[in-house]
C-alpha cells in the first residue's frame, strides 16, 4: 500500500509503469471500495436476520397474539404482553417531544433568523456538545437532580423512578437533533420569500412564523419525526431514571419500563441463552426496530419532499 502510494506521488515513476498493472490495480481498489460500501447492506441484513430469527423462535413459545395484545408483562411468570413496555416508551417519548419540539424549533428560528453571525458560531457547536453528552450522564442527572427537584417543589409524591424526569431530560437530549434538522430546512427557504414579506410590511416575527416556518414545514416535520425516533430508541436515560417495572397505564409520576430498558435489564442479569426470556429481548428489539424504521423512512420521505420543492 505504502509502496504504491510512493509510486503515485512521483508522476515520473508512475509514468514508466505498465498500463496493465495500473489498470489491474484500479480494478482491485475499486472492488475493495465497493465492498466497503456494501458493508451497509450486510449490516442491515445482519440486523434483520438476527432479530427475526430469534423472534421467530420466541413466537414458537409465546403466541404473537398474546405478545401484541396482552397487557401483562412479567417474564418471570411467563407473561409476555409487550403493551406495557410500549406504553412506557411512548409516555417518555411524548414528554420528550413536548420539550424538544417547541424548544428545538424556536432555537432553529433563533439560529437562522435572529442570531448574529458571531454568536451563531458559538451556539451551534455548543448544541453539538449537548448532543454528544453520553446518555448515562443524562440518566444520572435525571435521577439525582431533576427527580429530587420535582419532589421538593411541585410533585411531593413522585417516585424515585418516574417517567416525567426521564422524559424531560430525554427532551433536552433531542433538542439538538430537532434544532439542527429544522434549521437546515429553515435556512434553505429562499431569501426572496423573506424579502417579499418584509416588503409587504411584515415584522420580523411575522416573517419568521407566517412565511418562513410554513415554507420549511416539511423539513420541520422530518426533524420532529427524527426526534421521536431518537426518543424511542434511547436506552440509558430510561434505564437509569425511569425504572425497571413494567407499568400499564401508570401515571408519569410513577416508574415504568421502556422497551429499551427491558433489553438492558435482561442482558445485565444471569439469563441463560436459549431461554424464553433471552429470546424475548429479540422480540422486543424487533418491535423497536420496526417502529424506528417506519419513522426514519417517513422522515427521509419528508426531507426529500422539501428538497424537491426548492
Partner 1 sequence: MTQSGAKAERQADAGGSNFKASASGRYGLDKAFTVLVTGAALVGIVVLMVLLVDVIRDGSTMLSLKFLTSFPSQIFPEDGGIYPALIGSLWLLGLTALISVPLGLGAAVYLEEYAEDTRINRMIEVNISNLAGVPSVIYGLLGLGIFVQVLAPVTGGTSVLTGALTLSLLILPVIIVATREALRAIPGSIREGGYALGATRWEVIWSHLLPMALPGALTGIILALSRAIGEAAPILVVGVSLYQTYATTGPFDGYMALPTQIYDWISRPQQIFQDSAAAGIVVAMAVLLVANSFAIWLRNRYQQRL
Residues 62-101 that bind partner 1 (CB under 8 A): none
Stretch in the footprint of partner 1 (CB under 8 A) among 63-71, 72-80, 169-177, 247-255: 169-177
Residue number with CB closer to partner 1 (237 or 246): 237
C-alpha cell at 143: 435521577
47 vs 251 by CB, closer to partner 1: 47
- Cβ distance to partner 1 smaller for residue 166 or 175: 175
Least Cα distance to 111 among 245, 11, 18, 223 occurs for 223
Residues 132-151 that bind partner 1 (CB under 8 A): 132-141, 143-145
Find the binder of partner 1 among 147, 182, 229, 245 (CB under 8 A).
Answer: 229
Instruction: Tell me: does residue 251 bind partner 1 (CB under 8 A).
Output: no
Count, residues near partner 1 per rule CB under 8 A? 107
Beta strands in 75-192 (DSSP E): 79-80
178 contacts 223 by C-beta, under 8 angstroms: yes
Count of CA atoms in the C-beta half-sphere (13 A) of 133: 21
Binding residue (CB under 8 A) for partner 1 from 61, 74, 78, 210: 210
Q: Which stretch binds partner 1 (CB under 8 A): 28-36, 69-77, 80-88, 184-192?
A: 28-36
- Residue 56 sits in the site that holds partner 1 (CB under 8 A): no
Tell me which H or E stretch contains 73: strand 73-74
* Three-state secondary structure string covering 11-64: HHHHHHCCHHHHHHHHHHHHHHHHHHHHHHHHHHHHHHHHHHHHHHHHHHHCCH
Residue 205 interacting with partner 1 (CB under 8 A): yes
List the one residue out of 289, 237, 243 whose CA is nearest residue 262. Answer: 243
Is position 2 an interface residue for partner 1 (rule: CB under 8 A)?
A: no
Amino acid at each position: 500500500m505504502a509502496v504504491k502510494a510512493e509510486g503515485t506521488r512521483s508522476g515520473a515513476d508512475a509514468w514508466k509503469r505498465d498500463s496493465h498493472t495500473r489498470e489491474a490495480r484500479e480494478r482491485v481498489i475499486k472492488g475493495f471500495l465497493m465492498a466497503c460500501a456494501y458493508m451497509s447492506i450486510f449490516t442491515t441484513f445482519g440486523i434483520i436476520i438476527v432479530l427475526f430469527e430469534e423472534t421467530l423462535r420466541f413466537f414458537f413459545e409465546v403466541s404473537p397474539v398474546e405478545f401484541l395484545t396482552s397487557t401483562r408483562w412479567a417474564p418471570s411468570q411467563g407473561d409476555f404482553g409487550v403493551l406495557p413496555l410500549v406504553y412506557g416508551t411512548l409516555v417518555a417519548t411524548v414528554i420528550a417531544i413536548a420539550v424538544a419540539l417547541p424548544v428545538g424549533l424556536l432555537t432553529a428560528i433563533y439560529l437562522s433568523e435572529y442570531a448574529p453571525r458571531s454568536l451563531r458560531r458559538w451556539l451551534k457547536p455548543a448544541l453539538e456538545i449537548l448532543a454528544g453528552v453520553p446518555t448515562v450522564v443524562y440518566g444520572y442527572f435525571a435521577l439525582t437532580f431533576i427527580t429530587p427537584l420535582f419532589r421538593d417543589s411541585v410533585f411531593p409524591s413522585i417516585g424515585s423512578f418516574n417517567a416525567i424526569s426521564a422524559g424531560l431530560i430525554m427532551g433536552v437530549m433531542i433538542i439538538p437533533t430537532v434544532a439542527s434538522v429544522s434549521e437546515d430546512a429553515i435556512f434553505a427557504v429562499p431569501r426572496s420569500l423573506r424579502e417579499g414579506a418584509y416588503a409587504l410590511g411584515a415584522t420580523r416575527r411575522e416573517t419568521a412564523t407566517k412565511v418562513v416556518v410554513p415554507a420549511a414545514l416539511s423539513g420541520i416535520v422530518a426533524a420532529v419525526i427524527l426526534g421521536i425516533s431518537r426518543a424511542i430508541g434511547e436506552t440509558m436515560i430510561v434505564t437509569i431514571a425511569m425504572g425497571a417495572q413494567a407499568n400499564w397505564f401508570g401515571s408519569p409520576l410513577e416508574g415504568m419500563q421502556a422497551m429499551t430498558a427491558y433489553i438492558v435489564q435482561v442482558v445485565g442479569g444471569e439469563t441463560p441463552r436459549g431461554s424464553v426470556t433471552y429470546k424475548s429481548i429479540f422480540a422486543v428489539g424487533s418491535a423497536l426496530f420496526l417502529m424506528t424504521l417506519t419513522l426514519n423512512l417517513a422522515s427521509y420521505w419528508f426531507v426529500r419532499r422539501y428538497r424537491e420543492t426548492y
